[in-house]
């Protein structure tokens, strides 16, 4: 039970200065709770911590929050996890609704991640370039892209130490072999910070809404050995296809069909070679920069076919 060993180590680290414990003993207590009493590992860990805290006669504030579920942002790959992070505020963005108190980008040595805090949570404001220990934040996932949400129970501690946020950009070269559903002229949900792409005028979260037009290409790059799903945003789609958002709206209006836009774009970009760079969020590489390497010659195309076949 590797996870239990990790948990035991984390518990041990928290009480290192206060109690004479050893990791094996903690692990065996955890194991008893989990296997004999069928208590979920997280809950077992929490109750054990609570137990030791009382035994050591400590307040909650006396415990080092770093050892409790401390996570590097680049390793976040699960929805709805309660975690702690130690991060620098890389950038603050303009919130798109009154419900959002703050939105922006946080970073630690491992990478960067979006964060949101809500007006109702009534938290202290984060400042750009400051470094914080944030305890009790929740992970969130949307289209393979992770973010963290601050909430009422989040504790914010500014710390003196500086952090150089990591760059988790990847690059990928390959032919654009496929364009996925939800590409071309799309409508996004205007609710709060939602921005989900609507399907038949409906947001999966907020139901029927008046969407806002946007352009994007969700495609697959194939270099013969690996495939990578990539997303080009509005500006890049305009550059890629020579069709502006306004022009796309005109085409859709003329043909009474938003799908007409993608039909117009497809022949221009499918089969072309690209080199793209950008951060990877789950399955997707979000294109920051791209270079078009030209279309394939017939020979190259054949070779490509053979490699992928
Ligand atoms: Zn929505």
Instruction: Quote the number of domains for the chain.
Output: 3
Which of 111, 127, 158 finishes a domain? Answer: 158
- Determine the distance separating the centroid of ligand 1 and the alpha carbon of 118, expressed in angstroms: 16
Domain-located, residue 65: no
204 shares a domain with 249: yes
145 shares a domain with 86: yes
Q: What is the 3-state secondary structure (H, E, C) of 190-204?
A: CCCCCCCECECCEEC
Give the pLDDT score at 67: 47
Give the pLDDT score at 66: 45
Instruction: Please list the ranges in the chain whose pLDDT falls under 70.
Output: 1-2, 60-68, 143, 168, 294-309
Q: What are the helix and strand counts (H, E) for the chain?
A: 7, 15
**Phi, psi (5° rounding) for residue 32?**
-60, -45
Task: Report the candidate in 176, 170, 148, 150 with the shortest Cα–Cα distance to residue 296.
Answer: 176
- Determine the distance separating the centroid of ligand 1 and the alpha carbon of 203, expressed in angstroms: 5
- Determine the distance separating the centroid of ligand 1 and the alpha carbon of 205, expressed in angstroms: 5
The predicted-structure confidence for 161-207, as pLDDT tens digits, reads as follows: 898 888 767 788 999 999 998 899 999 999 877 888 898 889 999 99
256 shares a domain with 180: yes
Domain holding 30, by residue range, is 2-60
193 shares a domain with 284: yes
- Determine the distance separating the centroid of ligand 1 and the alpha carbon of 208, expressed in angstroms: 9
80 shares a domain with 45: no
Which of 136, 158, 180 finishes a domain? Answer: 158
Domain-located, residue 283: yes
Return d(Cα 222, Cα 229) in angstroms, integer.
9
- Determine the distance separating the centroid of ligand 1 and the alpha carbon of 116, expressed in angstroms: 16
Domain-located, residue 164: no
Domain-located, residue 163: no
Domain-located, residue 182: yes
The predicted-structure confidence for 113-152, as pLDDT tens digits, reads as follows: 999 999 998 899 999 999 999 988 999 987 677 899 998 8
- Determine the distance separating the centroid of ligand 1 and the alpha carbon of 209, expressed in angstroms: 8
Q: 């017939």: which residue's tokens?
A: 298
219 shares a domain with 279: yes
CATH code assigned at 114: 2.40.50.140
CATH code assigned at 225: 2.40.50
């Amino acid at each position: 039970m590797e996870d239990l060993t990790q948990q035991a180590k984390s518990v041990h680290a928290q009480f290192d200065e206060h109690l004479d414990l050893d990791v094996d003993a903690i692990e065996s207590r955890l194991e008893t709770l989990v296997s004999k009493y069928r208590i979920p590992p997280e809950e077992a860990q929490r109750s054990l911590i609570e137990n030791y805290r009382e035994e050591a006669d400590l307040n909650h504030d006396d415990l080092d929050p770093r050892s409790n579920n401390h996570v590097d942002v680049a390793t976040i790959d699960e929805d709805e996890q309660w975690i702690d992070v130690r991060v620098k505020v890389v950038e603050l963005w303009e919130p798109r609704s009154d419900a959002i108190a703050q939105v922006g980008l946080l970073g630690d040595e491992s990478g960067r991640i979006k964060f949101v805090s809500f007006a109702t949570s009534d938290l202290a404001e984060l400042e750009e370039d400051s470094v914080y220990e944030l305890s009790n934040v929740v992970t969130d996932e949307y289209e393979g892209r992770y973010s963290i949400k601050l909430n009422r129970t989040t504790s914010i501690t500014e710390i003196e130490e500086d952090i150089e946020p990591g760059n988790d950009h990847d690059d990928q070269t390959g032919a654009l072999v496929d364009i996925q559903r939800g590409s071309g002229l799309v409508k996004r949900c205007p609710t709060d910070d939602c921005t989900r792409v609507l399907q038949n005028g409906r947001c999966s979260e907020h139901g029927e809404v008046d969407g806002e037009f946007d352009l994007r290409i969700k495609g697959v790059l194939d270099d013969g050995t690996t495939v990578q799903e990539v997303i080009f945003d509005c500006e890049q789609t305009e550059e890629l296809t020579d069709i502006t958002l306004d022009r796309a709206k005109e085409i859709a209006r003329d043909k009474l069909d938003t799908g007409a836009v993608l039909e117009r774009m497809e022949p221009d970009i499918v089969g072309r070679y690209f080199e793209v760079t950008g951060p990877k969020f789950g399955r997707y590489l979000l294109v920051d920069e791209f270079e078009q390497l030209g279309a394939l010659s017939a020979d190259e195309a054949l070779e490509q076919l053979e490699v992928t076949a």
